[in-house]
Structure 1
Amino acid sequence: MTETSDDPTPSDVPTQARAAETFDEVEDALLSRWPETRMEPTLDRIRAFCELLGDPQTTFRAVHLTGTNGKTSTARMVDTLLTTMGLRTGRFTSPHVERMSERICLDGEPLDDEAFVRAFNDVAPYTHLVDQAEPFPLSFFETMVGMAYAAFADAPVDVGVVEVGLGGAWDATNVIDADVAVVLPVGVDHAHLLGDSPEVIAGEKAGIIKPGATAVLAAQEPGVAEVLLARAREVGATVVAEGVDFGVETRTPAVGGQLVTLRGLRARYDELFLPLFGAHQAQNAVVALAAVEALVGEPLGDDVVREAFAEVTSPGRLEVVRRSPTVILDAAHNPQGAAATAAALEDSFQLSPLVGVVGLMSDKDAEGVLAAFEPQLAHVVCTQNSSSRSMAAAALAEVAIEIYGEQRVSVEPSLADAIDQAATLAEAGEAVTASLGSGAVLVTGSVVTVGEARRLLVRGEARGR
């Protein structure tokens, strides 16, 4: 998430738009606005903004996704299926892993710097009009949504694949009336904003289900399912549910991913290679398949599905970025996500010792995340990322010691140094009795932590903070 900006007041936001010339100027202008962590529950600003832009969100069909975990991976799968079918797509996801422009994609690819600047300049003349007319200015996220919808309309795209930022009903993306509303598994996250029970949070997320739409529901807890079904009945939406109308028939771990047999809404697809790890990604795949089948109303064709799933990527989701030792990045940031990742590690990898590098945000359930990983991690190096919202490494270590014991916990505030320390432990087998060089490192706890690690390890940027 974009957490590097202080909360600006309305007076901090420029009252007149100026054309940007570079990516950095766009980033600076967007970060001068309210960050995603600050919410004022209304769609008035984004509706006014979209109206000034000519309501671009009405010019294409859409698949809208919400849920507690799995949204970005599933959105990427939906996008890949649609592009393989020859349709033009626009994809909006958040947060970004490395660069802000990742959030807006056309035909499966992020906007390049020139296109990102152009997308900003296309909407910038209208931002100050909304800022002046509304009690509060447009936020960072609302401005990004307007940019995405306008870019999709301008392309033009056939289908928009849109991931909510937070919740559903009051999320800025929800000015769209999607043909298909996807609800991934719902748990407790962002409790201070959305509620402290899955049922309450489900009520918020159910807001993306619109009259006449098809609601594609992943497997849910009974109470959550009741809330979602009630919303569907209220608005007259059609419901298709995992385990009833579609599902994962079989899955087998394989080199580089897994083989899955999926029962879709319209057909069965046997022995597909999915280059992602874990049962949760197989579930995401069948939900994505059902969503696309619901959108097009017919089987997709075995060749299309096979080709699309073989090409799927999801950066920062059990992504192997280095060997000797193996380094894996995973953006799990809540207990449910951590449990899914831990199960996938057990299922698909043979790593001993596995040393964790963990950096969480201060508003997350640190105890729940660390406990979910405890059976898998021989040692944990507590660190922090560059966000002002990051939990201090020392504070995280206090929680970790209660779960792992002092001998299995280290503290290193510098992420680069934390990764180096973990790699040394993994290679030497010092965390547990293990053969030389058999270990691996898992960097996890936050999308920001993973993004910064990815820049260090993949992009080779300078070490340090």
Structure 2
Amino acid sequence: MSEPRDEFDQDAFDAIVDAETDRDPDLAVIEAGSRTLRARAGSPQDDAVPARPADPEVDAALRAVEADLATRWGETKLEPSVARISALMDVLGEPQKAYPSIHITGTNGKTSTARMIEALFGAFELRTGRYTSPHVQSVTERISLDGAPIPAERFVETYQDIKPYVEMVDAKEEYRLSFFEVLTGMAYAAFADAPVDVAVVEVGMGGSWDATNVIDGTVAVITPIDLDHTDRLGSTPGEIAVEKSGIIKEGATVVLSQQPVDAAQVILKKAVEADATVAREGLEFGVVSREIAVGGQLLTLRGLGGEYEQVFLPLYGAHQAHNAAVALAAVEAFFGIGADHARTLDVEAVRRAFASVSSPGRLEVVRRSPTVVLDAAHNPAGARATADGITEAFSFSRLIGVVGASGDKDVRGLLEAFEPIFAEVVVTRNSSHRSMDVDELAAVAVEVFGDERVVVEPRLDDALEAAITLAEEEDEYAGAGVLVTGSVITVGEARLLLGRG
């Protein structure tokens, strides 16, 4: 049973912060954030807590749109088909054909790669539209123009503009358009209206029947494929690759990250069938060298046209270096740079672009003393990359985990990936209806970590406070840290609780 929601009271919020600052400023922020989280939460079926607009009228309008969208199928309920989104595009006048696109699929790294591609295009003064999912804190994050989330007012206007056409399609189809299909239609319409020079589009799930797959991406990017959504996509990387390779269009360029052998075979076969050109990480492009630097890493990248040295990336982990190589190759391919055109992009522009990249909720440091890191890893492959990144970039004497996961994920595999680096784990849950029951999560955690290393806190704000307290409790752990992980939703709510909303 959900708790009653308080009306948001800014004076009360400020009073809590002021009153608690003397005791522990960071724990005070958590307590204040907890009140804000409860007060600002919308429907209990919302997948994340939005960062609300400051204008009450705009906030009310955005809430109305969110409530309307919430009546539709959520992102976990699918009818594999592009018929409905195609019908919507038809009545909207095919807005997705008004600009060239880069289409991105894979299991992990899609959003970070999309943000890097967007930054590179921005450095070359191209106007960009970026569509990614899920969002960390606000639904408006999913549709970005020129590197920034679409303003709430424009989000509402775009929804109102396409709503009559959505209702026309609803009336004709067997099933109404889903939440994700409507958002996809909004993104494509917003990009055409801007207008953008290029769209960077991340699939929601799979590829061939994903709602985004009504674009003709001149470049198809496939990030590492691993096991996730196995009930819908397949039980092996090769089976999953069948769906994901569905974004490869006739004559496109495929930028392919390092893949399991069976997945690579499927993708290469599809590329041949589509007469597509393939650029493979480790062969045509890749990471030449990387070294840890303050606030990130220093890279030398080999692109399709040559090497780019002294590239600073303000993100942690080897996986982000590989994402950077993929993003660079994708932009080179878009500009027609390759083996037949041996030239590079302007290296200074490339350096500026990568130095400007951020990826909220991906090994993101949100406070110090003790250090709290947020990472949205939600499957075993992502957790392994995060664990490696934490070990490489941070020298924690002791690391406390805060884990809130979705019930439809491989939670055991996720916890097993983190077990070597967590001294203790605080299991909790987020506000989503998809969140795993905390007692069930605790039972799995005890099997993985042992009873003495598991702490149970049903509320996320209590879990954060418990983890920070554990990290601070003894002098010998002065270098202790906290990692909050398990779900994009958990990370988004933690950002708000820790004052980053």
Could you state the TM-score of these two structures normalised by the residue count of structure 2?
A: 0.87
CA distance in 1, matches of 2:476, 2:100: 55
* 1:445 matched residue in structure 2: 486
Match of 2:116 among 53, 77, 86: 77
CA distance in 1, matches of 2:389, 2:105: 22
CA distance in 2, matches of 1:65, 1:436: 42
Specify the SS of the correspondent of 2:463: helix
* 1:134 matched residue in structure 2: 173
> Aligned-pair RMSD on alpha carbons?
1.6
CA distance in 2, matches of 1:237, 1:99: 37
* 1:345 matched residue in structure 2: 390
- Equivalences for residues 128-167 of structure 1 within 5 A: 128-167=167-206
1:439 alignment partner AA: A
CA distance in 2, matches of 1:132, 1:223: 42
CA offsets 1:224-263 (integer angstroms, 9 cap, x no match): 1000000001111111100010000001111100011000
* 1:410 matched residue in structure 2: 455
Specify the SS of the correspondent of 2:446: helix
* 1:249 matched residue in structure 2: 288
- Equivalences for residues 186-225 of structure 1 within 5 A: 186-225=225-264
CA distance in 2, matches of 1:85, 1:268: 18
Specify the SS of the correspondent of 2:200: strand
Q: Flag the 1:88–1:384 CA change in 2: closer, same or farther, 3 A.
A: same
Specify the SS of the correspondent of 2:290: strand
Aligned residues with identical type, % of pairs? 58
2:488 alignment partner AA: V
CA distance in 2, matches of 1:39, 1:455: 30
Specify the SS of the correspondent of 1:22: helix
CA distance in 1, matches of 2:109, 2:435: 22
Mark the runs of 5 or more structure 2 residues left unpaired by the alignment. 1-41, 48-57, 338-343
CA distance in 1, matches of 2:478, 2:394: 15
CA distance in 2, matches of 1:6, 1:410: 27
User: How big is the shift at 1:5?
Assistant: 3.2
Alpha-carbon contact 2:290-2:299 (below 8 Å) kept: yes
Could you state the TM-score of these two structures normalised by the residue count of structure 1?
A: 0.93
Specify the SS of the correspondent of 2:130: strand
- Equivalences for residues 362-381 of structure 1 within 5 A: 362-381=407-426
Aligned: 1:120 with 2:165 = no
Specify the SS of the correspondent of 1:192: helix
* 2:97 matched residue in structure 1: 58
Alpha-carbon contact 2:43-2:67 (below 8 Å) kept: no
User: How big is the shift at 1:337?
Assistant: 0.1
CA distance in 2, matches of 1:64, 1:350: 37
* 1:384 matched residue in structure 2: 429
* 2:350 matched residue in structure 1: 305
User: How big is the shift at 1:458?
Assistant: 2.4
User: How big is the shift at 1:297?
Assistant: 1.5
2:415 alignment partner AA: L
Alpha-carbon contact 2:395-2:479 (below 8 Å) kept: no
Aligned: 1:5 with 2:50 = no
* 1:277 matched residue in structure 2: 316
Mark the runs of 5 or more structure 1 residues left unpaired by the alignment. 8-18, 461-465
Specify the SS of the correspondent of 1:332: coil
CA distance in 2, matches of 1:292, 1:220: 20
Alpha-carbon contact 1:331-1:446 (below 8 Å) kept: yes
* 1:394 matched residue in structure 2: 439
Match of 1:427 among 459, 472, 477: 472
Specify the SS of the correspondent of 2:212: helix
CA offsets 1:406-450 (integer angstroms, 9 cap, x no match): 110010010000000000001114xxxx71432111000000000
1:443 alignment partner AA: V
Q: Flag the 1:4–1:228 CA change in 2: closer, same or farther, 3 A.
A: farther
Aligned: 1:458 with 2:492 = no
2:427 alignment partner AA: C
Alpha-carbon contact 1:3-1:36 (below 8 Å) kept: no
1:402 alignment partner AA: E
CA distance in 2, matches of 1:189, 1:438: 34
1:454 alignment partner AA: R
Q: Flag the 1:252–1:6 CA change in 2: closer, same or farther, 3 A.
A: closer
Match of 1:361 among 390, 406, 413: 406
Aligned: 1:43 with 2:88 = no
CA offsets 1:284-329 (integer angstroms, 9 cap, x no match): 0000000000001232210110000000000000000011111100
Count of residues in Structure 1 that have an aligned counterpart in Structure 2: 444
Q: Detail structure 1 runs of 4+ shifted over 6 Å in the superposition.
A: none
Q: Flag the 1:21–1:3 CA change in 2: closer, same or farther, 3 A.
A: closer
